[in-house]
Amino acid sequence: MSTSPEHPIAKRLSGWAVFDLDGTLADSLSDISLALSKVLRRHHRNSLSLEETKKLVGKGPRTLVERAWLATGEPASEEQARELTGEYLLEYRSNPKGGTRAFPGIHEGLRRLFSLGWSLGLCTNKDGRAARFLVEELGWEKWIRVVVSGEETTRKPDPLPLRLALRRMKAPPGRHLFIGDSEVDLQTARNARVEGVFLSHGYGEFGSVSRDGMHHMGTAAELFSWMARAGPRPASAPPRSGFAKLPGNF
């Protein structure tokens, strides 16, 4: 684990954390791959394997479709990409949960953090309707009350969606965290001046982002144990009333 000189370990974490969704909290690769393959086959393209699809995710549905088209033949035009993205979203929304499951230790970890007073949010490039449905279906809506999705502002690694999530959570200044599974997530954290945490059980790679000020966790159990230890003491835990009822919240 790497700790920034600007945030010595003696200074406790704030108790506000934002998570990425796909590859971080939820293993949704099989459902993403299934929906994408249906669209590819409909247009007489070869399907992509799970491993091939895994390399394409991370920057939202349109980028996923554009990358898939480039990987299977001629690239899609602007108009084609827009129409194909619509087809993909229809396929995915028809069975958004499907085989999607929480990664080991996620459900218990979120519940524990919430009981300790943590305020939790979600920032994803995923389609917002599908993201909120998954949060509800996986039973996390009690703990994750703010969701900012790719179509609401700009997409990660732009810092705006992460900053919007923290603003909706009414987070004060402090050592906030953004937890993800990709270089895009780490760059988003850096751009937003938030501490980034790379959770390596997901789909992405640490990449070329400097490790200075970033944290690396191998498992959800390791992540949540550290957050519980380094977070606010019970007497100073953030009040749950800090969740704002704004568009994008539950």
Residue 20: active-site member: yes
Q: Which two tokens stand for residue 73?
A: 């033949």
**Under 8 Å between Cβ of 92 and 32:** yes
Catalytic residue among 20, 27, 127, 181: 20
Give per-residue burial for 124-149: e unless 16+ CB within 10 Å, then b: bbbbbebbbebbeebebeebbbbbbb
Alpha-carbon distances of 55 from 34, 59, 122, 202, 215, rounded to whole Å: 15, 11, 22, 11, 22
Any bridge partners for residue 102, and if so which? 26
- CA dihedral of 71, 74, 78, 80, whole degrees rounded to 10: -90
- For 170, phi and psi rounded to 5 degrees? 60, 45
Q: Whole-angstrom Cα distance, residue 235 to residue 61?
A: 42
What are the residue numbers of the active site? 20
